[in-house]
């Protein structure tokens, strides 16, 4: 079930994840976020990057955060529009992980050596699509992904 709140500069969606409804609810969530980003004047490239990154972060919540997790599964998505940037915050209440064990330089090197590696491609993709990327995680409690994309300055015609 999706609970949606909109304010002028922010949208917040709380998703009570249920596997049987996941596909349709994830499509709905993505459409809502895409519409807000487009209405805020971001170009197609920024919108594509945001939606693809959102999908990867949600997939990580489902595949990793909720693996071996028996409690109520929630994913909170916030879209904040601040001046010329958008900030997406994707937070799950899953199992969390030890962030210190994962270094992007090692993930990038592993993917370069083996593009078909089973783990890390989503984070690698997000990191390379957005202007700012941060992960916060607490073992046994939650993971939060923060993504920022800056609005490109339009080229003036002279």
Any idea where the domains of the chain sit in the sequence?
2-150
Question: What pLDDT sits at residue 110?
Answer: 57
The pLDDT mean for the chain works out to 84
Better-scored residue on pLDDT, 39 or 107 = 39
> How do residues 71-98 score in pLDDT, each as one tens digit?
889 999 999 998 899 999 999 999 988 7
- The CATH class of 2-150 is alpha beta
Q: How far apart are CA 54 and CA 144, in angstroms?
A: 12
Q: CA geometry: angle at 10 spanning 133 and 125, to 5°?
A: 25
Collapsing DSSP to helix, strand or coil, 73 comes out as coil
Which pair of structure tokens corresponds to residue 71?
A: 């409690």
* Pick from 32, 60, 34: nearest CA to 49: 34
Q: How far apart are CA 59 and CA 126, in angstroms?
A: 12
SS (H, E, C) 124-148: HHHHHHCCEEEEEEECCCEEEEEEE
> How do residues 127-136 score in pLDDT, each as one tens digit?
889 999 988 9
Q: Are 22 and 128 in contact, with CB atoms under 8 Å apart?
A: no
| Cα dist from 144 to 50, 77, 78, whole Å | 16, 10, 11
């Amino acid at each position: 079930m999706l609970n949606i709140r909109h304010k002028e500069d922010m949208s917040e969606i709380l998703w009570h994840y249920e596997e049987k409804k996941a596909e349709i609810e994830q499509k709905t969530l993505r459409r809502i976020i895409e519409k807000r980003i487009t209405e805020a004047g971001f170009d197609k490239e920024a919108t594509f990057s945001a939606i693809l990154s959102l999908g990867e972060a949600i997939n990580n919540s489902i595949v990793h955060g909720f693996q071996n997790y028996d409690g109520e599964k929630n994913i909170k998505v916030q879209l904040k529009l601040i001046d010329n940037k958008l900030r997406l915050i994707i937070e799950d209440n899953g199992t969390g992980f030890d962030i210190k064990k994962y270094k992007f330089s090692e993930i990038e090197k592993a993917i370069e050596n083996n593009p078909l590696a089973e783990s890390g491609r989503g984070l690698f993709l997000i990191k390379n699509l957005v202007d700012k990327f941060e992960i916060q995680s607490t073992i046994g409690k939650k993971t939060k992904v923060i993504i920022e994309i800056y609005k490109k300055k339009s080229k003036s015609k002279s």
